[in-house]
Copies of this chain bind each other. A is one copy, B any other.
Amino acid sequence: MLNKSHIQVLKRIVGEENCYDDKAHLVAYCYDATKERYEPEAVVFPRNESDVSAVLTYCNDNKIPIIPRGAGSGFTGGALPVKGGIVLAMERHFNRILEIDEKNLIARVQPGVVNKIFQEAVEAKGLFYPPDPASQEYSTLGGNVSENAGGMRAAKYGITKDYVMALRAVLPNGDIIRAGKKTIKDVAGFNVAGILIASEGSLAVITEITLKLIAKPKFARSAMGVFNDIESAMNAVYKTMASGITPVAMEFLDNLSINAVEERFHKGLPTNAGAILITQVDGDLEQQLDFQLDILEQRFKENGCIDFKIAQNDEEAQNLWFARRNVSQSITIYGKKKLNEDITVPRSALPELLNRISALSGKYGFKIPCFGHTGDGNVHVNVMVKDPSDKAELQKGYECIEEIFKIAIELEGTLSGEHGIGLSKAPFMRLAFSEAEMDLFARIKKAFDPHNILNPGKMGL
């Protein structure tokens, strides 16, 4: 428990105006996108790396939990102070783009920079930062690194970890470290940056991120394929990817998802379709786009595509993407609470995954709309609970989710493609990892954070 003297020390470190323990602040920093609520005992806004180091040293000496926080937009409770302690809020003083190095195609940023703001800044210079989580308008790059955020463009361009070249971070004992380099090649010392990525704020507090940029492709075009059944669509996905072209994105909506968007927005979507695939290709030459779209159309039609449409201009492209962009909010027509999981499997297992989810829907009686990033095998599975105040129904929902996790693991997939484990998926870690693997995680945690002060109670540790 924090007492007044702890608060006094923290105020001395960061200044009165950067440390709060009033109710308003505790409530303002008690949430994330899970809708779960845990109030911290104080909210601290470090002004710089020295502040972070001093706060961590103090917390380490006094065994006070400390939870780094970006925008609080995570889906698995990563930023929730479940054991109380201090929320270390990075958005106020760590929100600067420090450098966009056009000579080396590199940027240095602070962790509180919002993804979209960064994307716009680099695109203004003709450069490109591909990772585009759905939360890009508010989620921060520090959060993106901590959860290893993905997005729609991952099929072609990879995920956050593929763009992190170096980090500065502060360890729980206050030590400031650098990890990684501004160079593509670097094999000196252990890959500490590699293990900080996706560590969900449980190993160190990231204070600076060096990101790789690429040149912005000059052209992009979108297309949509309509399929009678979902299995055909899933076959089309992996066969397209295996045939040697790599679309930027290959997004799908199942029949329930299509109908949800149509019911809310009346866009003339094919409501009888088993699935639609929306895809985008890009490149520096128009011919490259034609080449890719030709192969795409062939593969789609060979695999049961009954209608294939290429957007002829920006407006048509926006229309094709409308359904995908609005599906998440639309499916709420099926239930007040969605248990939303970001299952990922090898692409060739997508047909079986979707078939087995459909069987579960029958078994449990839930509607389970699915959509997502099939180009990289990442499906957002939504178990829709009509009335979450009905404890029995909610419990059944969780049982259904557990079965879905088991299926994903059986198909050599993962519990989480991009949301992380945090609190929400912690109970399922032992489905995916052996005792030996969990023990190793615990020893790694201890090597960084011997007193378990950083984001305690997460990841099943």
Contacts and interface: CB of A to CB of B under 8 A. Distances in A.
Interface residues of A, number: 94
A184 interface: yes
Given A244-B284, A285-B287, A288-B285, A190 B198 contact: yes
Given A412-B182, A434-B177, A242 B187 contact: no
A133 to B, nearest CB: 11
A150 interface: yes
Interface in A233-286: 238-239, 241-246, 283-285
Given A443-B447, A444-B444, A187 B284 contact: no
Nearest to A203: B190
Contact of A175 (B190, B413, B436): B436
B189 A441 contact: yes
Interface in A142-188: 147-148, 150, 154-155, 158-159, 161-162, 171, 175-179, 181-188
A178 B434 CA distance: 9
A142 to B, nearest CB: 15
Contacts of A317: none
Contacts of A418: 185, 187
Given A197-B194, A444-B444, A447-B444, A415 B238 contact: no
Residue with the greatest number of chain B CB neighbours at <10 A, chosen from A106, A183, A376, A443: A183
A378 interface: yes
5 contacts: A161-B191, A181-B412, A183-B413, A189-B421, A189-B441
Given A103-B242, A285-B285, 9 more contacts: A101-B348, A103-B347, A104-B242, A161-B194, A183-B412, A186-B344, A190-B199, A190-B445, A191-B198
6 residue pairs, one from A and one from B, having the closest CB atoms = A194-B194, A215-B244, A185-B417, A175-B436, A103-B348, A443-B447
